[in-house]
Amino acid sequence: MEATPQIEADRRLLKFKTYEDYLDSLVTPADLCYMQSVTASRTLAELGYRSTGATLSRKQFERRLAAVIAYLYPTFKPYELASERMPATDDLQKELAIRERPNRLGILATIIFLRNTTSGGFEVSGYIDYGDRLKIEDWKPFFRGKRRLWPKPTDLGYYHWRLGASVSNDSFNFKVIVHPKRGLLFQNRFDRKVISVDPVQSPGSNSTRLCVLSPIYDHVVLLDHVVIQRI
């Protein structure tokens, strides 16, 4: 959930434990003096006679306070690991199964470089933000061995030899940087560390590179970045 202007404005509601406390904040000492009734004073406030702005109804108060609490203290939603109890038969399946949980938690950010060949003999290659794809796709068919992993035009990097299509996109975890000397780089959005994909260069601070040998794919490289601090 994003912090909308309404949520920011409604942070003031956190100081009230109940709707009655909210109404009491609008009641003046004069109201209590003349009306001699807390209930009547609250009713006067609820009708909007003691506020320069719109007075919230009980339903509005509870809904907007709940929205603020949900933003500040989001409920943890457990997830199911797609690789759990799956009989991995390919090395890429095994490696990505090991990395699934830390990528979902955000403590590890893995970039997958893949080079495949289509049935027509054309190369398709690209860089995939594993954590990003985990959020938007069902990975169970992959871990069951029912579906191959392919780069897409929406991934960090995508190249289709026959179409001559070359695309790069920022993702949830990474920003794409094309450096005039160092070439293609990816910057982690959370700790700002830069990952180099050049095999003759170091991948960067807190990052490692692993080549995975798989009979299913032409070429696979995993770039793992340990996210030290989420800024």
- pLDDT at 2 exceeding the cut of 70: no
Q: How confident is the model at residue 5 (pLDDT cuts 50, 70, 90)?
A: confident
At residue 12, the pLDDT reads 86
At residue 160, the pLDDT reads 92
Distance CA 146, CA 167 (A): 27
Distance CA 227, CA 105 (A): 10
At residue 75, the pLDDT reads 61
User: Which string of b and e fits 1-30 if b means at least 16 CB within 10 Å?
Assistant: eeeeeebeebeebeeeeebeebbeebbeee
Distance CA 27, CA 7 (A): 24
Distance CA 31, CA 40 (A): 9
At residue 82, the pLDDT reads 93
- CA–centroid distance for 7 within its chain: 20
What would the pLDDT profile of 30-56 be if each residue is shown by its tens digit? Answer: 655 666 666 766 776 666 665 555 788
User: Is 6 within 8 Å of 71 (Cβ atoms)?
Assistant: no
State which of 68-72, 177-181, 185-189 shows the largest mean pLDDT: 185-189
User: Is 46 within 8 Å of 23 (Cβ atoms)?
Assistant: yes
Determine the average pLDDT of the residues in 2-23.
82
φ, ψ (nearest 5 deg) of residue 146:
-95, -10
φ, ψ (nearest 5 deg) of residue 47:
-75, -5
Average pLDDT, the chain: 87
Sign of CA dihedral 180, 122, 99, 138: positive
Record the tokens describing residue 11, joined without a space.
């942070």
pTM above 0.75, yes or no: no
The single-letter DSSP state of residue 3 is: -
Percentage of the chain exceeding pLDDT 90: 53
Q: End-to-end distance of the chain based on CA atoms, in angstroms?
A: 18
Q: How confident is the model at residue 199 (pLDDT cuts 50, 70, 90)?
A: very high
Span of 32-36, 53-57, 129-133, 134-138 with lowest mean pLDDT:
32-36
At residue 154, the pLDDT reads 93
Record the tokens describing residue 134, joined without a space.
């985990």
Distance CA 204, CA 195 (A): 5
Determine the average pLDDT of the residues in 18-36.
73
Q: How confident is the model at residue 103 (pLDDT cuts 50, 70, 90)?
A: very high
At residue 231, the pLDDT reads 47
Selected residue with higher pLDDT from 64 and 223? 223
At residue 77, the pLDDT reads 56
82-86 long-range Cβ contacts below 8 angstroms, 24+ apart: 82/134, 82/138, 82/139, 82/140, 82/142, 82/143, 83/139, 83/143, 86/140, 86/143, 86/144
